[in-house]
Structure 1
Amino acid sequence: MKPNSNNTSLILLHPYIQKQGTSSKIWLLAFLSFFTLAFLLLLLVCTRPSTPITAASVVSSATTTTTTTPLPTTVINTLLYYASRSNDSFHMSHSELKPISDVLRKCSTPCNFLIFGLTQETLLWKALNHNGRTVFIDENRYYAAFFEEKHPEIDAYDVQYTTKRSELKELVTTVREQTRNECRPVQNLLFSECRLGLNDLPNHVYEVDWDVILVDGPRGDWPDAPGRMSAIYTAGVLARSKKGGNLKTHVFVHDFNGEVERVCSEEFLCSENLVEASDTLGHYLVERMDENCFQFCHNTTSFGS
């Protein structure tokens, strides 16, 4: 017999039947939720690391991630080769570039490299000191600004020199007379009143422990030109006043055949610290000193000898 469709509809809509269906759905949803939560907890327990994640492990991981590799030797040799190919007399030769490059390559950590003078080798120094800190100091404010604008990766600052090459003898004599006062070999030059001390550089320059310093500026060899007296003196003080890092600083002086370069190097970098020298490049290894030391060199020669 054909079922009565009207009666069937009444049975399906009976309140008791509806209540039972809703209750079953709620229990089913609760069961599924509980099962899903239990599965997730089991998954987390089974896949957790064998060692706990601690602050030390995070630091170690970050250190490993940021570790950088040095430039390959073939790349360094290629850069030196092409940089020394120019016939321009203002370019350094391969024999001048190589000792500086070798020192940069041997740094145990990325080097802190300070250069007095923006020259044809500026981009080369930046490239060779791969991953290190490279800062340039120049006497020409406009050239420093132009160079930074053209090469944003270059960190360059200008400085006002107040010396003249013709004052060489007077300035050296003044420093000798004030080695226990304003011209001490160990001091914070930011607060120095020594005539040869550069005290208007950015503050952070005095706070960095420089591993390598190159004096290749300021430019000019006429009597009223600034000369490199202040740059060499400042390099000597920065090397002796280091607070940390390596105990010794490599200081290179370019154009070593000049009177100012040789006299000031002997006076403030000292012959006992001379590693090697040619007519064009002097290489000194200057050691950090105690702040109670008031003598640049163990043996001071008479000026002009």
Structure 2
Amino acid sequence: MKTSAKFIVLHPSVHKSGGGGPTATSHRAWLAVFVLFFIFTFGFTLITTRDAAKTAADDGVSKSELPKHIIDALLFYASVNISSSDERMTPAEVKSISAVLRHCAAPCNFLVFGITHETLLWNSLNHDGRTVIIDERSYLVSKLEERHPYIEAYDVLFTTKVSELYDLIEHYKGEIKGECRPVQNLLFSDCKLAINDLPNHLYDVAWDVILIDGPKGHTAAAPGRMAVIFTAGVLARSKRGGAARTHVFVHEFERDVESVCSDEFLCRENLVETKGSLGHFVIGKMDADRNRFEFCPNSDSSVSKST
């Protein structure tokens, strides 16, 4: 406004400049009016535009921004050290899981066993659905929730060991019509392979996709994935509501525990695809009233100890 005040020259000195008659004075007056009108219009437009932009940002524009969990995932994978020796999935393996999530009817219920390098990615790829992470390391679960409070994660205590694989298989065979049957409420199961200490509400969820990438199973003393694969097989066959089939992915599928337990509880006839170390099974619901107790009725699932 200081500029406009100096520009208005309607001052007695104007009439002392000489040669300025009534016509010149009239022109100066009209010029001053025009300039004042321009300044007022410009100022009004600037103020109203700024207010309108602020209102739009408050009401609508901010909603078009990427969700925080997607931003976090992008930042994490953009800054990660690609030379790290951590075990990760290959692009083909990730693409296989992503394709199923993309075609899953929303909201997609995605259960993931194992906190891994891809954890933030799974949560972001399923951004319209519900993703639940399960891991045996309580400190990692707490750390994950602290850094990313939008992620739903729980810890579970595994009592199994890789060295007990074949003993657990024998136990399951002896209890297949009892505590280890393929259709049951896992919350009340006494099967040694059943995971029954998750939060109660998770057993009522109709899981559309289950990914098994944990717990650790590289040593004989590690928990191994026997219980997780068994539990995934029961959840898929026992679920109520949702899609008729459940997609179950098993990572590091070539290892003994993963291979043996997948044959027993997920069944080779349900294996639809393999990508690298990832096995993709599609498991249908099973009617508990038909008195069927086989996990894999169309295959010989007998297992003997390897020598």
TM-score normalised per structure 2: 0.71
1:285 corresponds to: 282
Is the Cα–Cα contact under 8 Å of residues 171 and 195 in structure 1 kept in the other structure?
Answer: yes
Question: Helix, strand or coil for the counterpart of 1:284?
Answer: strand
Alignment equivalent of 1:250, drawn from 233, 247, 258: 247
2:39 corresponds to: none
Is the Cα–Cα contact under 8 Å of residues 110 and 129 in structure 2 kept in the other structure?
Answer: yes
Is the Cα–Cα contact under 8 Å of residues 175 and 194 in structure 1 kept in the other structure?
Answer: yes
More moved, 84-93 vs 103-112: 84-93
Is the Cα–Cα contact under 8 Å of residues 162 and 217 in structure 2 kept in the other structure?
Answer: no
Is the Cα–Cα contact under 8 Å of residues 92 and 275 in structure 2 kept in the other structure?
Answer: no
Is the Cα–Cα contact under 8 Å of residues 254 and 281 in structure 1 kept in the other structure?
Answer: yes
Distance across 1 between alignment mates of 2:149 and 2:283: 32
Aligned-pair CA distance for 1:162: 0.5
Question: Helix, strand or coil for the counterpart of 1:125?
Answer: helix
- Amino acid in structure 1 at the alignment position of 2:99: D
* RMSD of aligned alpha carbons: 2.4
- Residue 83 to residue 170, structure 1, CA distance change in 2 (3 Å): farther
Deviation readout 1:259-303 (Å, 9 max, x if unpaired): 100100010000010001244100000000011321100213321
Write out aligned runs for 1:158-173 (5 A): 158-173=155-170
Distance across 2 between alignment mates of 1:112 and 1:297: 25
Distance across 1 between alignment mates of 2:80 and 2:165: 32
Distance across 2 between alignment mates of 1:84 and 1:263: 34
- Amino acid in structure 1 at the alignment position of 2:302: S
1:295 corresponds to: 294
Deviation readout 1:75-130 (Å, 9 max, x if unpaired): 9xx97x96999344412110110010000000122210000001111100000001
Distance across 2 between alignment mates of 1:217 and 1:152: 21
The structure with more radius of gyration: 1
Alignment equivalent of 1:180, drawn from 177, 180, 185: 177
Question: Helix, strand or coil for the counterpart of 1:240?
Answer: helix
1:211 corresponds to: 208
- Residue 131 to residue 83, structure 1, CA distance change in 2 (3 Å): farther
Distance across 1 between alignment mates of 2:246 and 2:80: 25
- Residue 84 to residue 168, structure 1, CA distance change in 2 (3 Å): farther
- The percent of aligned pairs where both chains have the same amino acid is 57
Is the Cα–Cα contact under 8 Å of residues 111 and 129 in structure 1 kept in the other structure?
Answer: yes
1:105 corresponds to: 102
- Amino acid in structure 2 at the alignment position of 1:296: F
Question: Helix, strand or coil for the counterpart of 2:196?
Answer: coil
Aligned length: 232
1:5 corresponds to: none
* Mapped pair 1:94 → 2:95: no
Structure 1 regions of 5+ residues with no counterpart? 1-68
Is the Cα–Cα contact under 8 Å of residues 84 and 92 in structure 1 kept in the other structure?
Answer: no
- Residue 284 to residue 85, structure 1, CA distance change in 2 (3 Å): farther
